[in-house]
Amino acid sequence: MPDEGAGAGSQGDVGSQAGSAGSIDWSKGGVEHFAGFKESLGDLAKDKSLEPIKDFHGLTKSFVESQKMIGSSIRLPPKDMKPEDRQKAVGELVGRLRKEGVLESVPESPDKYEIKMPEIEGWKVNESLFNSFRESAHKLGVTPSHAQGLFDWYLNIQEESNAKSQVEFETMKRGLKKEFGGLYPRKMEAARRAVAKYFGEDGDNIISQLPPAVGRKMVLAFSEIGDPMLEDSLMSGGIPGVVTKEQIKAKIDSMFDPKHPLQDISNRGHKEAVEEYSKLQQQYIGLGGK
């Protein structure tokens, strides 16, 4: 019965192998068998990721931790994905990051943006512009911190622009004072009245919001248009600070008094009197005097 003996022998060998495997001391991680297992991997065993692993316990632990990492990892959508699918995947990815607190979330509605306003006395927010800003920010998915940064940037730009405009306005104002001389109050009052007549009571605000170069031309034009409007008021008692043609003429006539410094070249005030006379003559001619 050699065949039966052979079969029994084979079974005995298998039993012997199983017994050998069962004799591995797993409490020590099977170190004595791990080296053989590693050799059986061929070139894969040369991968640097396996260098720290010395036994089956280390291998199992590494596998479990890698699986946990894969489960919590973020996978970027492939570049060859359809645009609509890629957009959806990116949206889901951003949503996940926001849910985990990695990224800042967009408010539920535009009115939920808590924008910090500047603490400047007299400063008022343009409600219409501000609401439009929040609506646009929400529509574009802007986060609260970015919205605040954009708002602050706009205010800084506006403040710099206002400061520059104020400097230009003061420069233009000084130029008009020099050009009008003593007639400055009258010319400005004439311009104010003409602007109020043709633009309404808020006309001054309209003029002040124009670029200084344009505003200057408007003031010059309206000072001529409005000058006749002053006559009735001046004849009925005058306007404080505004001189009339008659007042200038009277002052010029008074300078022909023999005792006036204008008539005495040895007087210390003669030079100043000549300059004043010249200015009065210019003002008088400017008001239509001859």
Reported as a single tens digit per residue, the pLDDT across 173-200 is: 889 888 888 788 888 888 888 888 888 8
Whether 8 shows a pLDDT value over 50: the answer reads no
**Percentage of the residues of the chain whose pLDDT score is greater than 70:** 80
Asked if residue 117 lies in contact with residue 125, where contact means CB atoms within 8 angstroms, the answer is: yes
Residue 116's pLDDT is 92
103: nearest Cα among 145, 134, 43, 44: 145
Judge contact between 213 and 153, C-beta under 8 A.
no
What confidence score (pLDDT) does residue 19 get?
41
Q: Which residue has the higher pLDDT, 22 or 138?
A: 138
Q: Domain limits of the chain? A: 244-290
Q: Cα separation of 81 and 150, whole Å?
A: 33
The identity of residue 4, as a single letter, is E
DSSP, res 101: T
Asked if residue 1 has pLDDT above 60, the reply is no
Q: CB pairs under 8 A, 24+ apart, for 138-143?
A: 138/106, 138/107, 138/109, 138/110, 138/113, 141/106, 142/106, 143/103, 143/104, 143/105, 143/106
18 falls in which pLDDT band (50, 70, 90)?
A: very low
**Residue 222's CB: how many other CB atoms inside 10 A?**
24
Do 193 and 231 touch, CB atoms closer than 8 A?
no
pTM for this model (two decimals): 0.46
- At residue 125, φ and ψ (nearest 5 deg) are -80, 145
CA dist 261 → 101, 182, 208 (Å) = 86, 20, 42
Whole-angstrom distance, CA of residue 180 vs CA of residue 286: 9
Predicted confidence at residue 16, as pLDDT, reads 39
Specify which residues 239 forms β-bridges with.
Answer: 242
